Structure 1
């Protein structure tokens, strides 16, 4: 039986879900709120910001950008980047947020693979582009981005400098309607093997993700992250999954936004204090870096809410943050999922909980957000029960998932096997729909016939009073198959030996928190745990270093 469709009226407007629609409400709600460039001190009202988007659209089209072209951006987190989030897809082009922390050969690969037509490049990355310019096979022009009042000349020919071009551009642009399924953005994941893989998202997907994220950050009584009075400062690179999509929400709501430029603990802390920041998001290593800063010791962090993602939030870090007044929460997602899938869900009586109970709730991977259908499957693809014990791969369906990897049909088919997106994460879901990620499939340690979660071991190690961060990996072992090995950083002035670690973990074995074979065979104290280009713990590099 065929479904019954709504008959179209002759004069009805078929409202497409386009990024430009997110701007409709921003100015009406903003009031006196500003968008702040933390690295330069420049401030823009929302009316100025919207005018700059119109000016940028005119600059881009004058530079020859057409619908379907790809415009790459290499910049720090700035209001300029936010303008690009809107202007580029709103003219029908594709925004390519280039990962500026990749090696030069990988930057070249991603830019050629995305077939970039125009490149907007900051002063700090001019030497990189000058080095690889001859290898970029599709680029037709460059626009220079500078924070200097009197920018120095670029080392190669450019269309012009961003601010100078905007100053001479028309103040209005007629943004067209087009198919909401048109690609709006693309960027590249940093896989553990081979070249980075390109993911892409449509206007429709980004609008729906924005609406779901807006609902999620305000629907829980004890997790009011984004409200009219909120002051938002990202501490996640804007090249990484659109800074988790939060800039789109903050702009739609007309919130005060603070963009810090390059991440440095001292400048982040100064902006937190002077701009009265209330909400940020970052990976655990960045939060640890901020808390470990000497300047952080004198700061009252009360009122700062921080959403942690990218890597597991350990109990040790959650406790340290809460003790300093930072309300931390867990968010879960991937590059391929735009990224939001689940968040912490605190019960109504959370305020009555002890610190330890709060910690346990906040490190859980959380409940799926609205419109997310999430299941766990076994190795044969069969659904497993939601009993909190059975573990399987997490698979999802929701309207904002990438439909594949750019120009890689085989990997796209693997990603979407049997009509579900495969996350590559092992987890369990309880009867209350709360997800707990146990590990990445590739990071599970297979020892003595048992699967041991590296995340569980890291979480327990993090509770040692003198250990700041821990990373655990499995290395080959002739007798056991694999054995866990730990790399840790310790608090300033502290000393922790391997024997100290064993003494700390042995009671945890006796109490049944872990099996005895989960105690690492070795522990290495380092100044800094290796991280990927987006701040996650780089377990591939750690395995390589320990193996050597």
Structure 2
């Protein structure tokens, strides 16, 4: 029970007054007014005006209603980032149904689990995923039909119960649907987040939560020191739309009426083509995807310029080395922080006025910090006893939060939900420090903390230092078992140019300089540094540190 709750005076409303609920459909209606001549673009295939897009949302609602979809039903979508997916972001919740964004990169058994657990009754699928769904269909008896999505409609052979092709059936529907009004606490979206153990966890959000998140994100994207997006900008996601609604930005970009470009499947050549041809201003992605783009030959060599491209980084810490590499190519990088359970926005690296007016080298560490809590987010750092830690830039605590858009539970998972929300705060599992300006800097995930000889070592700090060494494209640092010290840091490094890998002796010398400068302790220097062709990633492109630890353990059984 919150001891600070009071009962203030509440005056009665005029009987004829209306206090409308916060519903996703209101974001769409606002967007058409704001967008003007702006467009929604899909690859080099489709261009829509905002008014055409709105009509297609209405047509999709008619099509789904024809198939028996009603309020409360769960509709699954398996597609690449597309205008179709954006139409589903609106049409399905606006019916009062629930949009289940399926992570298409999960293993088949995990896809089956999420679709069973969600109780999907209808499925929209791109033809690329037919082969994945066919062996699962008999185990999904609740699914009443499948709607095929194709970039270029053509006959297909499949055992699935297809009702037809998306564009063909959409064209037959009326362009206006009389959407219902309902409680803003109705569930709008559902997706599944994977952890290190157990089955994926269902995370859901209501209309109210998504509208408030959109308004907060729109606010922060236009804040001085963080200006990213408005209706005069061109936006293209490089975060899958199945992953926390592509961080909620498609809702925000639509609300603002910005030009939007959807790249479909993430293919480096297509991404670069669209960045140039559509003059994309802003994107967002995890660091590994940004590294993939800036390492592409035409960009790295300077043949193609991306001057003025703004990239919001999340999902993992932005290494200063990658931020420098992007800056040299004219790319502006900023960070934000959140997690699947938080919709996701919690903090953003909004530069104070004095820093915003300074040079890049001065700004660099601040651009890469986790940032300041955004409006309406109550964020605290606490120790193991739940006591607040001082904002001294040194004392580490776990991040716990409250905000109007945090998931209130895991879907059908009471025990896991109680663990997430213990003591009335959502516990993130991230440990961080906070400085006197209020800036948060994550030091690590609790599960990734390296404890060596009783001392705590931040894998992110070591990664950040190694990333700035010449010849390093990617780096991951984890703790491996050590008979003497408990754990020792180990690093995997990917070379920027395989033919000229970084010198490991020089890399260690660079870390020794950081020791001499007091930035790290000598026991933080990894004894084991391996050059590898690639570093394992999760289904959303993050470093898969659990798998890295397992692989290193298998390679050296004596360390276990």
Normalised by the length of structure 1, the TM-score is 0.98
Q: Which residue, 194, 199, 207 being the options, matches 1:195? A: 199
Aligned to 2:180: 176
Pairing 1:76-87 to 2, within 5 Å after superposition: 76-87=80-91
Matched, 1:496 2:502: yes
Alpha-carbon distance, 1:497 to partner: 4.5
Matched, 1:123 2:112: no
User: What whole-Å deviation, never above 9, does each CA across 1:250-291 have from its counterpart, x for those lacking one?
Assistant: 111111000000011111011000000000000000000001
- CA–CA distance in 2 between the matches of 1:118 and 1:251? 25
Q: Which residue, 352, 360, 365 being the options, matches 1:360? A: 365
- CA–CA distance in 2 between the matches of 1:4 and 1:142? 52
Matched, 1:101 2:105: yes
Alignment length, in residue pairs? 546
Aligned to 1:50: 54
User: What whole-Å deviation, never above 9, does each CA across 1:489-515 have from its counterpart, x for those lacking one?
Assistant: 011132234433222211111111111
Alpha-carbon distance, 1:346 to partner: 1.2
Aligned to 1:472: 477
Aligned to 2:271: 268
Matched, 1:89 2:93: yes
Gaps (5+ residues) in structure 2?
A: 1-5, 555-560
The 10-residue stretch of structure 1 (194-203 or 157-166) with the greater mean CA deviation from structure 2:
157-166
Aligned to 2:534: 528
Pairing 1:230-379 to 2, within 5 Å after superposition: 230-296=233-299, 297=301, 298-350=303-355, 352-379=357-384
CA contact (8 A) 1:144 1:154 kept: no
- CA–CA distance in 1 between the matches of 2:419 and 2:83? 37
- CA–CA distance in 1 between the matches of 2:28 and 2:359? 42
CA contact (8 A) 1:231 1:256 kept: yes
User: What whole-Å deviation, never above 9, does each CA across 1:153-193 have from its counterpart, x for those lacking one?
Assistant: 44422121111110111211111110000000010111111
Aligned to 2:558: none
Q: Which residue, 108, 120, 140 being the options, matches 1:136? A: 140
Aligned to 2:557: none
CA contact (8 A) 1:36 1:259 kept: yes
CA contact (8 A) 2:477 2:492 kept: yes
The 10-residue stretch of structure 1 (28-37 or 355-364) with the greater mean CA deviation from structure 2:
355-364
- CA–CA distance in 1 between the matches of 2:483 and 2:379? 38
Aligned to 1:5: 10
- CA–CA distance in 1 between the matches of 2:476 and 2:47? 40
- Report SS of the residue matched to 2:120: coil
Matched, 1:61 2:60: no
- CA–CA distance in 2 between the matches of 1:205 and 1:321? 34
CA contact (8 A) 2:320 2:364 kept: yes
Matched, 1:481 2:520: no
- CA–CA distance in 2 between the matches of 1:2 and 1:445? 47
- Report SS of the residue matched to 2:99: strand
- CA–CA distance in 2 between the matches of 1:133 and 1:448? 52
User: What whole-Å deviation, never above 9, does each CA across 1:71-130 have from its counterpart, x for those lacking one?
Assistant: 000000000000000000000000000000000000000000111110101010000001
Matched, 1:452 2:457: yes
User: What whole-Å deviation, never above 9, does each CA across 1:459-507 have from its counterpart, x for those lacking one?
Assistant: 0110101111110000111100000000110111322344332222111
- Report SS of the residue matched to 2:271: helix
